[in-house]
Chains A and B, each alone.
Chain A
Amino acid sequence: MEAVVYLLAIPLIATLLPLLSERLGRAIVPGLAFITASIATDMLIRGYTVSSHYFYADWYSMVLATTIAWIYFFASLASLYYVERVERPFYPLRLYWSFLSLFALSMIFTAVVSNLGWMWIGLEATTVVSAVLIITDGKKRNVEGAWRYMIIASAGLGIAFLSVVITYSFAGTLDVRHLVLSEKAGAVVGLLAIVGFGTKVGLFPMHGWLPDAHGSAPSPVSAMLSGTLLPTALLVYYRLFKASTGLGKEAVYIALTVGILTVLVASILMASQRFVKRLLAYSSMDMMGVATIGIALSYYRPGLLKLVFVLIAVHAFAKGALFISAGSAVSRYGHEIGEINGLLKDSPALGYSFGLSALAVTGAPPFGTFLAELSILGVALSINRWWALLIGTGLLLSFLALNWHSAKMLFGEGKGAEFQRGEELIPLIMTLVALGVSLYVVYLALTGGLVI
């Protein structure tokens, strides 16, 4: 039996046991999540890969699975504080713990299966589970956000289904290892895949659900949605991208155009946001745009893909820290950016983790995102300098937008809000993990362990 099964079995246990009682869920879910994450990390360090009938996990899948497992762990820790704040839940809270685990399970499943059909099923399952998680709070805006998310995401996944069907009717198989498409089929599938799976990634112009869903979800769920669900959909897109660029280049241009537009639109929208969590949601959209550009450019320079996944991992931890600290801040100050003031003074730990993570997700050195964005710019520059100019503009705009808002929230007199120790510690640790991963990657890059 493949070792990857453990990554699915443990979250499955964590899905089933909390159904018995809420207290049991509270007690065991973080522990089981920690075990999953530790196993995944161990597998990643040992360089584990699998290629069997049911499973296919290369290094990229394992990076993603490890990230998912860790974000799941941190989200479950943050949920311990979140569930205390829920006043009138939409359903019994034991289901919250169960769905949280099921959400992680469906994402890890999507990342490690070998069959495109199962990937699609996994992604569609994440839609349902995460939509249900969004309405935990039971307020009207949660229901509306979740509703719009479900409707748009399932419409998008309908298009994605179409790309899967066409891939099958052309290639005769759905196994991602053996997909080969002709030039014409590659262009069609590339377009349908970026529209379909891109809806889940939050790419322009199918991003309409993203700010509503992220803005109204519980903070731990936002962290998982943003940090791990979007990259999971991106991984599935990458599998199809690779198949559709085997013989033709159209899919590369499609991905590049969509990626650049996403970055530009997201960075402009970020500048004009009033609500913290919507701001962060647009920042995720921006990062996924960068990752899509990276995937497109990996056609020219395959080594770039490693840095794209470094970017995804660092972004996941940093964005998780941002969402979780924003969740704590929102419950004390209010939803609007203008209402939050002097975070650094009220809680230095939260302030530092928010500020540093905001720098991390906008690609400031020494974070791994900086290295990735720099390489993406470099590769773009070596191919076409107009692409590089557009990408650079987008990156600069988003850097200014997010950090400007972040600075407004961090500095100031403060309002004397008080936070629990754990609430401060979780985002801080996540930020430090992002920093640690980044420094390790920089070390690898400097010592020649990472060549693109």
Chain B
Amino acid sequence: MINEILNLLGSVVLLTAFFMLTESYMHSLIDAVAFQSVLIGLIIGIVGWEKGIPELVILAGITVAFRALLIPWLLQRDVRKERIWRGREIKTTHHAIVLGLIVAVLAYFLYLPIYRAISKWNGVIAFVLLFLSMLIITSRRNALAQIVGYLSEENALLYLAVMLSPMPMVLEFGILLDMIAFVLLAVVLGAEKRYGPLEVEELVG
């Protein structure tokens, strides 16, 4: 029963990743990652509750507090402040969904050697999610969208760690990853104050 719930939640998480891949409005992109974080929080919480590991329950709380509430709120505030982004369609590749499917299938095949090594299937959704998140990061030129991709990647990593084997240090990992998200956010906000919205361009040389 619990496994079925976990798998159901996992597939919804994957759907949010596909949604994020093609979403062109910043505010709904941020909402999507917040929703994804809630789901990941639920998954981590359920696993922690079932196995009786208090660290995982705390991690679930942190996930919801930071990645579903605090960081998305900060991002939304920033999007609202910058008039350019209000309703602005950031450049998404329209074939992103196809690319996403290809990456997902590729990730599935890349998981096979891992399966052969540790003979566990339950990490595969998180593994695919990891690759989709990296695709989100690399296919976007906009720094805020890349932060959203980073949050999704972080979700994928913690999800993977919890599903494969509840590790002893997973809480510390989670906290550190969140701190990095805050630093990314601080850098972007600071840079925006100076130069306006940040688009990553090719550097010369």
Pick out which of these stretches binds chain B: A127-135, A256-264, A300-308, A391-399. Answer: A127-135
Closest to B162 in A: A165
Known: A131-B183, A148-B200. A182 touches B117 (CB 8 A): yes
CB pair B168 A174 closer than 8 Å: yes
CB pair B137 A155 closer than 8 Å: yes
Among candidates A169, A212, A275, A278, residue contacting B118 with C-beta atoms closer than 8 Å = A169
CB pair A161 B205 closer than 8 Å: no
Interface size on B, residues (CB 8 A): 42
Please report the C-alpha to C-alpha distance between residue A189 and residue B117 in the assembled complex, in whole angstroms.
9
CB pair A215 B205 closer than 8 Å: yes
> Which residues from chain B contact A158 at a C-beta distance below 8 Å?
130, 134, 153, 156-157
Pick out which of these stretches binds chain A: B36-44, B62-70, B186-194. Answer: B186-194
Closest to A147 in B: B200
**A114 adjacent to chain B (CB < 8 Å):** no
> Which residues from chain A contact B167 at a C-beta distance below 8 Å?
117, 165, 168, 174
A residues 380-397 in Cβ contact with B at 8 Å: none
Pick out which of these stretches binds chain A: B25-33, B78-86, B173-181. Answer: B173-181
**B46 adjacent to chain A (CB < 8 Å):** no
> Which residues from chain B contact A147 at a C-beta distance below 8 Å?
143, 187-188, 191, 198, 200
CB pair A145 B203 closer than 8 Å: yes
Known: A151-B146, A154-B180. A161 touches B118 (CB 8 A): no
Among candidates B130, B169, B183, residue contacting A162 with C-beta atoms closer than 8 Å = B130
**Which of under 10, 10 to 19, 20 to 34, or 35 or more describes the interface residues of A?**
35 or more
Least Cβ–Cβ distance between B97 and chain A, in angstroms: 21
> Which residues from chain B contact A127 at a C-beta distance below 8 Å?
180
**A144 adjacent to chain B (CB < 8 Å):** yes
CB pair A169 B165 closer than 8 Å: yes
**B18 adjacent to chain A (CB < 8 Å):** no
B residues 90-130 in Cβ contact with A at 8 Å: 113-114, 116-118, 120, 127, 130
A residues 161-201 in Cβ contact with B at 8 Å: 161-162, 165-166, 168-170, 174, 182, 184-185, 187-189
What are 17 A-B contacts defined by CB distance under 8 Å? A90-B190, A91-B190, A121-B169, A124-B180, A135-B191, A143-B191, A146-B187, A148-B203, A155-B137, A158-B130, A158-B153, A158-B156, A162-B157, A165-B161, A170-B118, A174-B168, A185-B117
